[in-house]
Amino acid sequence: MTRSRRSDAQRSRTSILDAALKKLGTDPDAGVEAIATAAGVTRQTVYAHFPSRGELLSAVLDRITEEAVAAMDAADLDDGPAADALVRLLEAARRTSGRYPALLGKINSLPAPPPDDRRRHEPVADRLARIIERGKATGEFDARLPTGWLVAVIVKLGHAAAEETDSGRIPHTEATDALHTTLHRILTATKIPTTN
């Protein structure tokens, strides 16, 4: 009986998150009532799983992060040159976020508690670090720069490219080319000129 109740609760939670993703994807300001209706449950059921709209938005962001990480893992990050793997990772992340531009714009404008933000970035940072370390080991990437620093730079530049595209200031293809070119220049092993 308890197991059945647990699986019913899990199905209910999943249907709420599915509905929230769909509803908020088209209307980032949709309220709990609209999400409950789309999920086929009552407001009380939504609040039983997510005591506040903020917690629901946080769970939705976790779901999008899971989708992005699954897409990255499907991109064969351990195959071929590290630079190619990095491009595949960035494209997988962009395809996922591209499905929810309005929603992510809204959520990202809200203040996120630092532990939540760090937790969400960890799986992405781990995959980036793995590619960077591989690139350093093969001589593709500059081994003199700390891996953590390079991860932070890639994440920030990826966000900047997305913001430029989402704002309409730069077309997607131009922003993507600029991102890839910038990262290539930052990561590639080159000799630093000595000063006298």
In contact, 105 and 167? CB cutoff 8 Å: no
So what's the pLDDT on residue 94? 86
15 Cβ contact partners less than 8 Å away, ≥ 6 residues apart: 39, 40, 41
Provide the pLDDT confidence category of residue 2 given band limits of 50, 70 and 90: low
CATH of domain 58-196: 1.10.357.10
How far from chain centre, in Å, is Cα 160?
13
What does the alpha-carbon distance between residue 177 and residue 154 come to, in Å, rounded to a whole number? 14
Helix (H, G, I), strand (E, B) or coil at 122: helix
So what's the pLDDT on residue 194? 53
So what's the pLDDT on residue 6? 73
Q: Give tens-digit pLDDT for 112-142.
A: 555 666 777 899 999 999 999 999 999 999 9
- Hunting for tokens 């980032």 — which residue is that? 28
**The two domains 1-51 and 58-196 share their CATH topology (first three levels equal):** no
CB burial of 27-53 (b: ≥16 within 10 Å; e: otherwise) equals ebebebebbbbbbebeeebbeebbeee
Q: What is the pTM of this model?
A: 0.78
- Hunting for tokens 């700390």 — which residue is that? 146
Helix (H, G, I), strand (E, B) or coil at 195: coil
What does the alpha-carbon distance between residue 22 and residue 39 come to, in Å, rounded to a whole number? 10
Domain layout of the chain by residue ranges = 1-51, 58-196
- Hunting for tokens 């890639």 — which residue is that? 154
Q: Give tens-digit pLDDT for 7-34.
A: 777 888 999 999 999 998 888 888 899 9
Domain 1-51 belongs in CATH node 1.10.10? yes
